Structure 1
Amino acid sequence: MGPTTERALGRRLRERPVWQHLAALVVVPLLATGAVSAASVAERTRELRTAGQAGSLMRAATELDALRRAVDSELLPTLSRNVTRDREAAAAAGFGERRAVLYLDAVNRLQLARQVTDRAVSRIGAASPAAVSTALAVQRLRTVRAAADQGTSSTEALADLYVGLSDWLSHAEEQVITGTTATGLSERSARAVNDVTLVVELTQQASREVPAAFTARVLGGGEQVRARQRAAHVVGSYRELAGATAELSSAPVRLGWAAATRGAAAQELTAAFGGETREPGRLSGPQLLELADASARRDRDLAQLLESTVDTAVAAVDAEREEAAVRLRTTLLLCLLVLAGALAAAVAQGRWLAGALRRLADAAQRVGQGELVDVPEGGPRETRTAARALAGAVAGLRQVREQADALTRGDLAGALREQPLPGPLGEAVQASVQQLVRAVQQRDRLQTELAHQAAHDPLTGLPNRAAALRLLSGALERAGRRGATTGLLFVDLDGFKAVNDGAGHAAGDEVLREVARRLRGCVREGDSVGRLGGDEFVVLVEDVTDEAALVELGERVVAAARRPVHVAGDAATGAAGRSVRVGASVGVAVARGAGEDAEVLLAEADSAVYRAKSRGRGRVEVFDDVLRAELAARWDLQSALREGLRRGELTLHYQPVVDLADGSLAGYEALARWDRPGVGPVRPDVFVAAAEASSLVCDLGRWVLREATAQLARWREERPCAWPAPGAGAEPTVAVNVSGRHLSDPRLLEDVAQALQASGLPPHLLVLEITETVLVDDPLATAHLQQLRASGVGVAIDDFGTGWTSIGQLPTTPADTLKIDRSFVSSTDPGRRGLVALTVHAAHTFGLRVVAEGVEDAEQLRWLREQGCDTAQGYLFARPMPAPEAARWQRPAEALAV
């Protein structure tokens, strides 16, 4: 070994930790202690395994005994069947004329006995110690059964085969029990196993008494002598064993033994076999067969005795196993304690020598990683001096950390900011504090503003719809717990649209802000006011005393909203300030007790405000049983309509639209019809109104779009009789009514595009009919109409004149056609007629076509032609018809004669 190698080896030895040197000193004693401990643990483990094997063997012995008893139970019916099968043998055995009956009885008993044997075989699993013996026994049993079923073997031969198989099983059972005692059991467990052995022997001899006596009775000649000797031996052995009670070690087993050997069945057999030990074969064959039931009952008693004896033995073995487990755990604990003690001594020695240096090194390493830990002082003087120096450095770093914590908390006035660290480091930290605090304050302000915006209406500052529903849900939960009453007022402004149209949206916004302020002034402290959207507000009132107080509050709200609102002028347009008026309709709903739902209560208040508007506006209505019934009926109708759409119960009728210039067919209006099963036809205004109260109207609109476009596409191919010849003029269109809710649905554009694509219909042949209010209520609806018109789809304003659209707004209205309401067409009032004429003229001025609705007589038609109306529809031409009738429709020449 060279000098360089020696130096490297010495360096490695010097750099080893102290614990390695100490471990070398204690490793030999530890190994010796471990070897002794391992040997002791192995011995205790063997004891535990032995006890477990003994329990398993005892259960295997029980399984074999059950199989052996089942095989013995087959012997008597087998011999009886064999004897009664032959007339001469049956007569010699004393069966006489009962041979046939006894033969059938023997066959039935044999079948039942074999089933018992098969079940006993199936209970012995493949993992059982008795599995191998069972497999061999099954092979022999098949041979015995085959010999018995063939009918060629003598009764003596069959008896020998069955007895031989029973003896073989008894021998296998004895071997299993012997294996149990050979496992090294304690004396107590061995006595319990001996009890099992005695009971097994008793059951063996008992189950053979009647078959042995029967064999001795039915055999003749020299075979009978041997059979009688065997029967005498069996009966005598049973008598001897039955009196061996004193050899049993367990008192419960002795009691069970006595009960089994002295029971009614045992007494009956003892009386019957009283002389069999001296005169075997004394009983006749039929008498012996009659004893079969008594023998079976005694066998069951003995089987129960065996089961309880085995349970006693297994319990003893289990107790011994538990004791072995306790000894094993105790040994393991002692060994671990010894090893732990030896190891603790070595560790204590190592800590005593190297603990101080290791703790100091660990503290220095953690401080280097940023952990400001306490530095322990220990060990020799030099180690203590180094520890005190490191502790001083940690104290300075802790002051820096406290400064940073104060910054994180935003503690601007804290002591740490007033007493910063000295020197350049303190100045840098102080500047960082100021900058971080400013950033945190700005972030908190932004978070507060965003949270407020998410829950409040930006125009009025009131809680928005989502926040209002959360407030309502919380109030209902509190009321449910206290058993209080909660009230909800639904406030819908009257005439707000007129203000928006006449004074502008800025004035409308000012009206909404002022109404919000007045509503807050009407309620108590603790009540809540929210804006649902548009001109709809809600007032939440908790702990309501009575319904009259809510009505009184509603009347105050109506009075407050009725007062004039001053709106400022517009400097840009030069418009002067002025006063405007709106009104309010209020619906009241009351929730009493627990289980109320916020959405349901809001729907009830909405229904009440709808009734208030329908009864003249500017009033308060309370949701009552009548409205509740109407709401329930509407929900029922909605459910039936949804199911009707799914089942295809709805159809479309088509009303022709006639060109007044030449009487040609201008198009059709598609109208939904519903024949409700079990109810009959439902009026369109009823089921459409129910659909419009929910998103169901969108589903209805999609269905109408698909059906109407598909029908018009089919007509284009089939060319109905009313259809103009190719090249003769413009093609007829189909008009589909679209609700405001569907028009505002984000999927509307996709619905129209899909319907056109599926049908192949050109976009310019589809007309969407909308009401005037849609154009004002939702800006998204207006945007959708503009996009649809850009794609080529036509737009018609339905029932024009009944809403709020003025003639002055026609230039900016996203429509192609005006449909004048039937109330104007049928009126004879000069003012209304003048309005119709003005509308036709204004529409033509701005490039819109006009459709007159509800034309019912020739005078109306003549007058409309005089005014220059473009097209018309009504009963004068045709009522709405199913598609086949509409295809066959012919225009009435007399009505359209030019």
Structure 2
Amino acid sequence: MEQREPPASEQASQPDHEVRELLNAGRLAEANTLFDRVVNHAPAGQDRWERSAVLVNRAKLAWRLGRIPLALELAAEGWTDLEGEPSDKPAAAQAMHALGYLLEGIGNRRAAVDMLRLSVQVARRAARASGSATEVLAYCLQALGGTLNFRAISSPPELAPAIFEEARGYLGEGLELAKDEQMRRALLGAYSRSLAGVGELEQAEEHARETLRQAREADDKWALAVANWVLAVVCREQDQLVRARTLASRAVAASEAINDPSLLLRFSLDLADICARMNDHVGEAAALRCSVAAGRTATETLQEGLAQALEQRRVAVQAQRLAVAAQEAAARDPLTGLANRLGLERSAPALLEGTAAKGRVPWLVLVDVDRFKGVNDDAGHAAGDATLREIAQLLRRECRADDLVARWAGDEFVVLLGDAGGTRDVGPAVAERIRAAVDDHDWTVVLGPVRRPTVSVGVAAGPAALDQLFAAADMALYRAKRHGRNRVEVEPLVSGLVSGN
């Protein structure tokens, strides 16, 4: 049975309540328009329990509007807020109640009942802590009892009475607590169905008639539908089939008026059963068509929502990939394809930490092209760019795949060697290979016979941060420039250096 909403005093906000009122009146277009404005405002709750209640109740609204991907997104966010230490807050019970409704709609029936039971437990604790929370407990009891009624109806005959009896207990307790008139009608209608389920037909009829009377006075079509349905069930059990058919038809009409597929499906199936007992094949066929239509509506809504969710997931994955690609592009030098300064600064800490964890020593090799301005002046900037690309290729060739090679700025390159193994002079050895590779390279195609570029290289090692290694290597590079260029200089090892094993 559908779960009724908490009383207005327990709602997240007045606009949320107005959306529900529009939905209950069947004014879907207006409800959608107002909901768009409501959902764009952050929950006003002061703690995470209140925030969770707002989010999950909005998820219920989205679900009823057929906006299933949004409903699932809001529910997941609200559900996350519920995780953690147990709560005795009324808002937590409200959120769990709403989650139970959504789980039922998705078809996860066992999880739905478990969540509704949990909502009752939390609401009980809240009621003990604060007498003002009894109304929340009442509507949690109504949700659990009403859902158990539907479970009993669809269960094997030998199991149904026990489930109806359990539902009656919850609903009777809720009736003793509820003060809100709408909630009392919901509890009374569901309670009368439980009574019918355990065979107490006279009391069931009495309570259903009282529900009907109150529903007419309040123009509550939901309670009107439930009351007529229960009276139809009672008449069916008393073999008053003509009266039962009339009442069941009224229940179907009322559920159609409020656009409630779950009630419509249940009521039309009972109407079909009554018509079959009367050999009213025309009425039975009409009722079955109604039930099929209601089931199809629910299924199509869910299927469409899942299709929308899949499409939204596809778009999200695509956006994530684009974001990753953009992030990678931001960390890569477009001219050489090497990591740029940002890429080096992002990746270096992990490489340095991994090297230290292995008891190894990191080496930093700083490479600078000698008199590169002259290359640009003599051969042009296009040739200068081609030169930098060639040097980048040579650096890749002389380094391992795990080494971090980057263009630092202009004509300056950095190679960060992580795990140097047991070789203490691996940094100078790599630096000399790089220098020789540039010096021995055939530059004719790129620069012609006029000029052959060379590089000066500074090397440093030690258990230090990137900026410290860079500063030390820069000092060594300065000496290489001062001592004639096209050479490698090594900064003295930092004291306390861990030796390779």
TM-score grouping bracket, smaller chain normalisation? 0.3 to 0.5
Output the TM-score relative to the length of structure 1. Answer: 0.25
TM-score by length of 2: 0.43
Structure with greater strand share of residues: 1
Question: Considering only CA atoms, is the larger Rg found in Structure 1 or Structure 2?
Answer: 1
